[in-house]
Amino acid sequence: MKNNYLLPHKFKLIGLILLAPTLVLAAMFLFNDFEFEFLELPVFSIANTPLFGDSDLFVTLSNNITNELIAVLSIVSLLFIAFSKQKNEDELVNAIRLKSLVMATYINYFILLFCVIFFYELAFLWVMLLNMFTILIFFIVYFNLRMFQLNRK
């Protein structure tokens, strides 16, 4: 079966190589407020809503893009890992991939429902920020666990 929607197998290694330094940078940013000084740049903003003041639409502002760079690298590396072909991609692997995606979606939204009920204000903002990544992480973990079980048989 031909899977045109999957990336070539070598993208998995590229994703793993990208993910390692990205996780280090993310930890430094989250726990130490680390930012690269040279990434303070003028950026175009479609919508800007400061904590105090009026909202602006379609403006250029100065911003340190360290956190945006970390988010982009995280998403790209997780997508590369999640959606690259296996060495031996067949119908069984395709079925496991589909089931893993469904299970990851169920788990992700079950946790999100829990958080909607029990987290508020800034804590919920953190939940939503992390939720960008969790569905890919749950998929990767569940899929690789199922593939490990299949290969062990």
Summarize pLDDT for 31-69 with one digit per residue, the tens: 998 999 999 999 998 988 877 778 888 989 899 999 999
DSSP state at residue 7: B
Q: Quote the CA–CA distance of 78 and 144 in Å, as a whole number.
A: 13
pTM of the model: 0.88
* Whether 57 contacts 79, CB under 8 Å: no
